[in-house]
Amino acid sequence: MTTTLRPTAPLHQGADGAKSRTYEVCVNSRPVGAVELSTDPRFGAAVGRVAGLLIDEADRRRGRATVAALAAEEVLRGWGCGRVEISVPAEAAAAQRMAAALGYTERGRNMIKPLPARPPALPEGVVGRPMSESEFETWLAHTKVGYARSLTERGLSEEAARAKCDADHAAALADGVATPDTYLGALVRDDKVVGTLWLALRHPHPGQSGAYVFDVEIAEEYRGQGLGRALLLLAEREALAAGTERIGLNVFADNTPALRLYESLGYEPVSYHLYKQLL
């Protein structure tokens, strides 16, 4: 039997090179599923994305999804993509096994935690407070450098990384420290700022609820002293004060210390973000 992809809509193309199209997964011309292909809006036309790959129940466990995924990669190669990205729900064990067998590597994961009924206490001698305007400007410049670096490490050119960094921060922090539904905080010990927190009090991703930690950072000279945990407890306190019931974040797969910290605080994965180079 032959498994192929059959377009179900015209190819959509943008002026910036973006492409998207939906397909039926067919076996000998018989529809057995569907898949959505696109270039990734975060990384540009050189990165493809496979989403919504679904095989009908009666045709599962026959290798249809694996062949469809390989066919999807061929389409993306034809579009000029050098990398493909997918997201897999944490509960989808079969999809995770298939992705591993196809050579996908975890880039990061989204994690969530139900918030406790009462605000957690911060360690003795540590307090949290909002950033001042001057602290915000210093923090923003520093954070943008780190964000742009992470984008270049994931394949963007320096110019594209700077442009995306500027656009993302301008959109998310349009009013600076006064941006609605946003907490920009400083962790203070002995009258010194030892860490910073960027917390969205309303989840920034459509269809999801709760608070979302965009960024936490402890100053290098204060690391290894348990202050990262204190900063996350501060995030929980602010999220509870805003009336939310859970808190989420994203962690890169190679950031083992952060991952272990989040797990120790009760965060659990809800989705894995995987990638593969298209040779």
In the chain the domains, ranked by start, together with CATH numbers, are: 3-103 (3.40.630.30), 113-271 (3.40.630.30)
Confidence category of residue 44, pLDDT binned at 50, 70, 90: confident
Is the distance from CB of 23 to CB of 37 less than 8 angstroms?
yes
Residue 145 structure tokens: 């450098």
Helix 133-153 with 158-172: angle, nearest 10 deg: 140
Q: What is the pTM of this model?
A: 0.91
CA distances to 127, 138, 166, 227 from 159, in Å = 39, 22, 11, 34
DSSP string, 26-46: EETTEEEEEEEEEEETTTEEE
The pLDDT of residue 1 is 65
Summarised one tens digit per residue, pLDDT across range 230-247 is 999 999 999 999 999 999
Summarised one tens digit per residue, pLDDT across range 170-226 is 999 999 999 999 999 999 999 999 999 999 999 888 878 899 999 999 999 999 999
* Positive or negative: CA dihedral 70, 75, 80, 85: negative
